[in-house]
Amino acid sequence: MLTVAVVYPDVLSTYGDSGNALVLRARAQVRGIASTVIECRFGESLPHADIYLIGGGEDGPQRAACDYLRRDGSLGRRIDDGAHVLAVCAGFQILGASFEVGAGEIYQGLDLLPVVTTRGTQRSVGDLVVRVGSELLVGFENHGGVSTMSGGGALGEVVSGFGNDGRVDGASAPGVTATYAHGPVLALNPWLADEILARAVGYQLEPYASVADDLHLERCRALGALS
Ligand code: GLN
């Protein structure tokens, strides 16, 4: 049984990020993989899961969620044990070494990624397109943070939009996929949903073509990322 945990959907799920769980469940089901989704509300202990989904949020809820995840202390151990985390925007920033909120207040992150997030001079709002190997990732971004990663390991290169710093977006590390893209990102990018499922089950999945692929292509085309 594949277990997907949505982490604190009551405080971290801007732009419907919790919907990533529905996509994983549906795409697992068509491959005959039984799955269960656990919503872990703010204040509850993290359950044992194969995939953890951490979404975006405003600065206040982001700080509170970060505090609680630090106190819980189990996310890093779960990654070491083979779980995979998909983190979006605030979720991504929380996994880093530190992030800046409000007027110059530096907050300590969970230090699971070599990423420091400072405050940009203006918010990054709009469509984001990222090249990830041979794939394109599309989504919507809205954040004040600028993320700097030491030693490489971004998820992909920005085609249009801002991402981490105008050049690259997110992070790809053992046990972690992170991006600034909302959407929910897995609904807009079925290939990424399958990649995360494949990592969690430990084998390559049968291809599954659906209208989601057409919508993804259409979105890429509309954003000028495909000819
Ligand atoms: N509060 C963070 C920022 O503005 C994250 C925002 C978000 O998750 N959309 O940078």
Sort 6 into a burial class: Cβ within 10 Å, 0-12 / 13-18 / 19+.
buried
Question: How high is the pLDDT of residue 199?
Answer: 95
pTM of the model: 0.97
Q: Tell which one of 89, 119, 123 to mutate to probe ligand 1, the residue whose CB is within 8 A of the most ligand atoms.
A: 89
156 lines ligand 1 (CB under 6 A): no
Question: How high is the pLDDT of residue 104?
Answer: 86
Q: Which residue has the CA at smallest separation from atom 5 of ligand 1?
A: 90
- Domains of the chain with CATH codes: 2-222 (3.40.50.880)
Ligand 1 atom with the smallest distance to the CA of 117 is 10
Question: How high is the pLDDT of residue 101?
Answer: 86
CA atoms in the 13 A half-sphere facing the CB of 141: 32
- pLDDT per position as a tens digit, 5-45: 999 999 999 999 999 999 999 999 999 999 999 999 999 99
Ligand 1 atom with the smallest distance to the CA of 182 is 9
